[in-house]
Amino acid sequence: MTAAAAARQILTRLTEVMASRLHAQGKLDQVVEIIGECLSSEVCSIYLLREGMLELFATRGLNQSAVHVTRMAIGEGLTGLIADKVETLNLAEAKAHPDFLYRPETGEEKFHSFAGVPIVYRERAVGVLCVQHVDPRRYEDVEIEALQTTAMVLSELITNAELVDEEEARGLTADQTGPQTLSGLTLVKGLGSGFAVYHQPRVEITQVMAEDTEAERQRVYRAFARMREQIDGLAGQAEFGVGGEHEEVLETYKMFAYDEGWSRRINEAIDSGLTAEAAIERVQQHTRMRMREIDDPLLADRMHDLEDLANRLIRIVAGQIGTAASQGLRRDTVLIARNLGPAELLEYDRRRLKGVILEEGSLTAHVVIVARAMNVPVLGRARGEKGAGLRGVIREGDEVLLDATAGNAIIRPLPQVAEAFQTRFAKSREKQAAYASLRDVEPFTRCGTRIQVMMNAGLRDDMSALAMTGADGVGLFRTEFQFLVSATLPQRERQTRLYRDVLDAAGDKPVIFRTVDIGGDKSVPYLAAGSGEHDENPAMGWRALRLALEREGLMKAQARSLLEAAAGRSLYVMFPMVSEPWEFDEAKAVFDEQLAFLRAKKRLLPERIHFGAMLEVPALAEVLDLMLPKLGFLSIGTNDLTQFLFAADRANPKLAQRYDWLSVSIMRFLRRVMQTSLGSGVDIGVCGEMGGRRLEALALLGIGYRRLSITPAAVGPIKELIRKVDLSEITAAMNGWLSDPGCNLRHELSLWADARGIEYD
């Protein structure tokens, strides 16, 4: 008999039992008989969770007097171990296992071999199904699979018959019930608390046994086709970021998605009578067991990828395609994801989103910039204790206290801990309120120089922060955000409406609109790189002005929208990723052409137009003499600039902590740009994330920068800093430090700040 046929036979008999009018205990008694018989096992037992203990509920082969008497704690004995680790054991000699525990009342001393599988409900073990045999032999794969299938059926029976209390089901393994601390990298500072929601939620499998095997086969076939399509299309998508580690992940995904062995095993499981969802899960359980036996950290990583993919496949089969965003957030939420793209994050309701925990992520990835703009704290590269992955530690709905500032999060906190957290949270809000009180205070340095503190924005909603923070204007309006949140290319009218609203909200304050910077980690499906080919290196690829100049219609529409929206007022336009002066000329020519058109139509024109460029490609710094005379202003995009100077992908989590913005090389570069520009009359500023961090801002002031455009939440803290700084002092100090290439600038600056009572954390 083939494996599938054997399993099918078991499943048919189980189906009959399940459909019978027996009460739950009667069904369990039948199940142990069937399994014992089919696997020719002297013993088959079912343990279920009751009052926190695993209790023997039914057995064939052990003493019947032990039923409802033998009880074991989670983690105790082999059965307890299976429940605790939610994993399968297959042992030729049970007594040789260090966790073996002898229970005299069961009369099990004569049995040698032992195999057990967890009965899983909502990712927790609610019981254990095990078999024992007199001969010392390992059970065959098909037998283990049959046990796993049976365990799935039992899980359905147990939950339907309410044999295990729901509350109990929630309270199982120590890793998943007690408090746990995650640690990671601070990506966006702040505190937040809420309930865990997975960006890619798991599907609850409600039907294990199939009614029509052929239909299930078709479902899984279609799901595979769809998943492969998705994987092939993922290359440019934000969920997977770009380059480096992400590419490896994607390659692994592809490998699994096209793996014949995987789909064959799923089909076999379907042949045995399971639904498509149950079949995928069953194969996954089996693979998990195999991988654990191998115990190789590299394989563990791959396992993580396969888990992701199996989850994706089940979601496709079950027709749950959308992310958690599409279901809406119902309460305060801390979002959990492997990685996210900016567009994906923007789909969440920002009133309910209190924090984000990512397994990957880096400081200047756009998703992080968006989160910063949304004022949502983000912890990146997060791991549980002993390096555990997030899926193993956090359950959907768990309470989470996120302290992204300190780089940690507490899952399922004890009440006292939650209370202390809330007290700290209240204090931090007080501090925020203190910053808010600086709203109307102008940022003059101690020596009396007025520094321009502007804010970065990208959405209509962001504009309320202008009044709240008292920023001097918007130094960078990322127009591509509108493109990222739209399913299709935003029409010209919609663009115009947005720009007009933004200008209305800004009143007299200037807004620097940056033309679309799409590409890199901000790809949009309707503007896929080139003719559908995949951009190997998107950050250095066909993005921003490069793309916009070739998609002339796009640039023209945006130019027209901006000119119309700014009719009768001042317009500031900034071009991103200018690498050569001619690119600036071409971009400006598009505006000039649209301007001429509007003029010919006798439309009201902007009162004044200021054109500027971003300096984020190092090459531009070498031709400033040619560039400056063309410009009204220049804004340094340190996020991109530093990634190019260090040749370190800003979205690559492996490089997230490798280089410091406060390096002599970066600072010397920025100082040289400032010195070259002095006397040109061109207004120079910085609009990268670094300007919003206190020590970095201090350094920038020390090398001559007087205009910073930063994330709104940083406006208060930076204003406070500015008011404590004497420019001649910091300038002299920076010059001294920068003359020594071996200098540890971060260290020196923090000592300097300490000595002056300047907070910098």
Q: Which does 80 bind (CB under 5 to 8 A by kind): ligand PEP, Mg ion, none?
A: none
Q: What are phi and psi of 29, to 5 degrees?
A: -60, -40
DSSP 632: S
Nearer to ligand PEP, 476 or 590 (CB): 476
| Contact window for ligand PEP (CB under 6 A) among 193-201, 235-243, 632-640, 727-735 | 632-640
Q: Which residue is nearest to Mg ion (CB)?
A: 640
User: Helical H runs in 601-726?
Assistant: 618-621, 624-627, 638-645, 664-677, 694-702, 712-722
Between 445 and 456, CB nearer to ligand PEP: 456
Query: Which of Mg ion, ligand PEP, none does 307 bind, CB closer than 5 to 8 A by kind?
Result: none
CB of 545 to Mg ion, least distance (A): 11
Binding pattern to ligand PEP, positions 511-550, x when CB under 6 A? Answer: ------x---------------------------------
Q: Is 640 in the site for Mg ion (CB under 5 A)?
A: yes
- Residue 531 is which amino acid? S
Site for ligand PEP in 608-627 (CB under 6 A): 616
| Cβ distance to ligand PEP smaller for residue 56 or 686 | 686
Task: Considering only residues 675 through 694, tell me which ones interact with ligand PEP, judged by CB under 6 A.
Answer: 687-688
Nearer to ligand PEP, 119 or 703 (CB): 703
- For residue 194, the minimal CB distance to Mg ion (Å) is 31
Query: Choosing among Mg ion, ligand PEP, none, which partner's interface includes residue 209 (Cβ < 5 to 8 Å by kind)?
Result: none
Residue 572 β-bridge partners: 512, 610
Question: Quick one: 113 or 638, whose CB is closer to ligand PEP?
Answer: 638
Tokens of 4: 């599938």
CA 192 to chain centre: 16
Among 476, 590, 713, 714, binds ligand PEP (CB under 6 A): 476
Q: How far is the CB of 716 from ligand PEP (least distance, A)?
A: 20
User: What distance lies between CA 148 and its chain's CA centroid?
Assistant: 32
Nearer to ligand PEP, 41 or 515 (CB): 515
Q: How many angstroms separate the CA atoms of 171 and 561, rounded?
A: 57
Binding partner of residue 476 among ligand PEP, Mg ion, none, CB cut-off 5 to 8 Å per kind: ligand PEP
**Burial environment of residue 189 by CB neighbours within 10 A (0 to 12, 13 to 18, 19 or more):** buried
Exposed (0-12), middle (13-18) or buried (19+): which is 525, by Cβ within 10 Å?
Answer: exposed
CA distance 78 to 535: 52
3-state secondary structure labels for all residues of 468-531? HHCCCCEEEEECHHHHHCCCCCCCHHHHHHHHHHHHHHHCCCCEEEECCCCECCECCHHHCCCC
DSSP-assigned letter for residue 408: E
CA distances from 347 to 343, 370, 465 (A): 7, 11, 20
The CA distance from 99 to 82, in Å, is: 10
Burial of 79 (0-12, 13-18, 19+ CB in 10 A): buried
Q: Considering the complex, what minimum distance in angstroms separates the CB of residue 687 from Mg ion?
A: 9
Residue among 462 and 616 whose Cβ is closer to ligand PEP: 616
Choices 101-109, 626-634, 639-647, 715-723; region in contact with Mg ion by CB under 5 A: 639-647
Nearest to 341 by CA among 199, 472, 161: 199
Whichever of 637 and 717 has its CB closer to Mg ion, that residue is: 637
Q: Which two tokens stand for residue 99?
A: 């966790």
At 200, list the tokens.
């890619």
How many Å separate Cα 95 from the centre of its chain?
Answer: 44
Smallest distance, ligand PEP to C-beta of residue 738, A: 21
**Per-residue interface string for the shown chain with Mg ion, residues 575-614, x marking contact by CB under 5 A:** ----------------------------------------
Binding segment for Mg ion (CB under 5 A), chosen from 1-9, 243-251, 307-315, 635-643, is 635-643
Per-residue contact string for residues 343-382; x = within reach of ligand PEP by CB under 6 A: --------------------------x-------------
Q: Phi/psi of residue 430, each to 5°?
A: -60, -40
Quick one: which of 61, 127, 637, 685 contacts ligand PEP (CB under 6 A)? 637
Closest residue to bound ligand PEP by CB: 637
Q: Would you count residue 458 as binding Mg ion (CB under 5 A)?
A: no
Residue type, 516: V
**Contacts of ligand PEP in 219-238 (CB under 6 A):** none
Query: Of 134-142, 252-260, 586-594, 638-646, which segment contacts ligand PEP by CB under 6 A?
Result: 638-646
Please tell me whether residue 637 binds Mg ion under the rule CB under 5 A.
yes
How far are the Cα atoms of 232, 407, 541, 613, 722 from residue 247, in angstroms, in the given order?
12, 26, 16, 32, 42
- Residue 586 Cα distances to 172, 555, 598, 737, angstroms: 64, 11, 19, 41
Closest CA to 378 of 393, 399, 360: 360
Residue 545: which of Mg ion, ligand PEP, none does it interact with, CB under 5 to 8 A by kind? Answer: none
Instruction: State which residue, 18 or 617, has the beta carbon closest to ligand PEP.
Output: 617
**Closer residue to ligand PEP (CB): 216 or 616:** 616
Q: Which long-range contacts (CB under 8 A, 24 or more apart) does 20-27 make?
A: 24/157, 24/158, 24/161, 24/163, 25/57, 25/58, 27/157, 27/161
Stretch that binds Mg ion, among 244-252, 533-541, 631-639, 671-679 (CB under 5 A): 631-639
Closer CB to ligand PEP, residue 413 or residue 688?
A: 688
Q: In which residue are the tokens 């089901």 written?
A: 169
List the x/- string, 639-658, binding to ligand PEP by CB under 6 A: xx------------------
Cβ of residue 285: shortest distance to ligand PEP, in angstroms? 43
Which residues on neighbouring strands pair with residue 357, listed in sequence order?
336, 379
**Count of H-run helices and E-run strands, the chain:** 30, 21
Q: Give the binding site for Mg ion (CB under 5 A).
A: 616, 637, 640
Q: Give the binding site for ligand PEP (CB under 6 A).
A: 369, 476, 478, 517, 616, 637-640, 687-688
